């Protein structure tokens, strides 16, 4: 126990790093991934702005990025990270790769939740003469709200776990701490402590996510 307390500042720093990486990548997922998800939905065959070439390209790009094992993506994007944040190491550099992975991840989840919106409801909006922008905001995003939040919860939790790999590029974070102390130095105590922290964080995120989603769901 004393041993863990001695590492207190390092653990707190690691939690901060995890939070930084997850917040940045999830923000990118929402700001860029969500519009891509909407694009995928609208351009899919038989949908509102059906456009086969656009859908094909967007869908292919999403699949391409998603096929990479994350560790490989992380290393492959080192030059890109250097270009964006000026450095190839540290939590910020890792956030670039995490964002690149999170964007298509959430885009697919957004596309899926939009597909759950009943076609008739969209049709009623079209029949009322609403503009595309109004349909996207007022019908699609509003009706898919619970699904979008559940998808976001899944994304946050997945990227807490992905961020553990960020240690490879000196990204730090609580997962990296567990790997460095527990796996590389056989320091079981620190590893267990890190895992307990991760379990608590994940439970908390899931609880908040599920609660919010159910509050937003008025379908009963």
Partner 1 sequence: MITFKEVSKRYKTGRQWVDAVKPTSLHIEKGHIQGIIGFSGAGKSTLLRMANLLEQPTAGEVYIDGQELTGLSTGELREARRSIGMIFQHYNLLSNETCAANVEFVLKAAKLPSRERKKRVEECLEIVGLAEKARQYPAQLSGGQKQRVAIARALANNPKVLLCDEPTSALDPVTTLSILEFLEKINREFQVTIMLVTHEIQVAKRLCSRVAVMENGAITEQLDMSLPAVKPATPLGQFLFDTEGEGFRGSHPGLKIGDY
Kindly report the number of other CB atoms within 10 A of residue 22's CB atom: 25
User: Which residue in the set 130, 195, 202, 205 belongs to the binding site for partner 1 (CB under 8 A)?
Assistant: 130
Asked if 110 is part of the footprint of partner 1 (rule: CB under 8 A), the reply reads no
Asked if 204 is part of the footprint of partner 1 (rule: CB under 8 A), the reply reads no
Using a 10 angstrom Cβ sphere, with 0-12 exposed, 13-18 middle and 19 or more buried, the burial of residue 145 is: middle
CB of 105 to partner 1, least distance (A): 25
CB 19 within 8 A of CB 27: no
Helix, strand, coil shares, percent, the chain, to 5: 85, 0, 15
User: Which residue in the set 50, 63, 67, 131 belongs to the binding site for partner 1 (CB under 8 A)?
Assistant: 131
User: Which residue in the set 17, 18, 26, 143 belongs to the binding site for partner 1 (CB under 8 A)?
Assistant: 143
x/- contact string, 150-189, with partner 1 (CB under 8 A)?
----------------------------------------
CB of 138 to partner 1, least distance (A): 6
- How does 165-192 read in b/e, with b if 16+ C-beta sit within 10 Å? bbbbbebbbbbbbbbbbbeeeebeebbe
Asked if 219 is part of the footprint of partner 1 (rule: CB under 8 A), the reply reads yes
Asked if 32 is part of the footprint of partner 1 (rule: CB under 8 A), the reply reads no
Using a 10 angstrom Cβ sphere, with 0-12 exposed, 13-18 middle and 19 or more buried, the burial of residue 206 is: middle
CB 205 within 8 A of CB 43: no
Using a 10 angstrom Cβ sphere, with 0-12 exposed, 13-18 middle and 19 or more buried, the burial of residue 40 is: buried
Q: Which is nearer to partner 1, 32 or 141 (CB)?
A: 141
- Please identify, among the stretches 11-19, 29-37, 151-159, 211-219, the one whose residues bind partner 1 according to the rule CB under 8 A: 211-219
User: Which residue in the set 9, 79, 118, 184 belongs to the binding site for partner 1 (CB under 8 A)?
Assistant: 118
Tokens of 36: 């891509």
- Please identify, among the stretches 35-43, 100-108, 142-150, 157-165, the one whose residues bind partner 1 according to the rule CB under 8 A: 142-150
Query: Which residues are at the interface with partner 1 (CB under 8 A)?
Result: 118, 120-121, 123-131, 134, 138-139, 142-143, 145-146, 216-220
């Amino acid at each position: 126990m004393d041993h863990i307390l001695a590492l207190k500042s390092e653990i707190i720093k690691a939690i901060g790093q995890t939070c930084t990486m997850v917040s940045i990548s999830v923000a990118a997922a929402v700001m860029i991934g969500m519009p891509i998800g909407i694009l995928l939905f609208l351009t899919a065959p038989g949908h509102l702005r059906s456009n086969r070439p656009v859908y094909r390209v967007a869908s292919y790009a999403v699949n391409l990025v998603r096929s990479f094992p994350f560790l490989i993506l992380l290393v492959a994007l080192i030059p890109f990270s250097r270009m964006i944040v000026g450095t190839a190491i540290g939590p910020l550099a890792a956030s670039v790769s995490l964002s690149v992975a999170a964007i298509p991840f959430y885009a697919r989840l957004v596309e899926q939740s939009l597909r759950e919106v009943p076609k008739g409801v969209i049709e009623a909006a079209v029949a009322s003469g609403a503009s595309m922008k109004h349909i996207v905001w007022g019908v699609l995003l509003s009706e898919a709200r619970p699904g979008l939040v559940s998808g976001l919860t899944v994304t946050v939790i997945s990227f807490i776990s992905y961020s553990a790999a960020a240690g490879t590029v000196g990204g730090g974070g609580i997962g990296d701490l567990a790997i460095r102390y527990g796996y590389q130095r056989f320091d079981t105590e620190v590893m267990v402590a890190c895992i307990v922290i991760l379990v608590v964080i994940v439970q908390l995120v899931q609880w908040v996510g599920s609660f919010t989603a159910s509050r937003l769901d008025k379908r009963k």
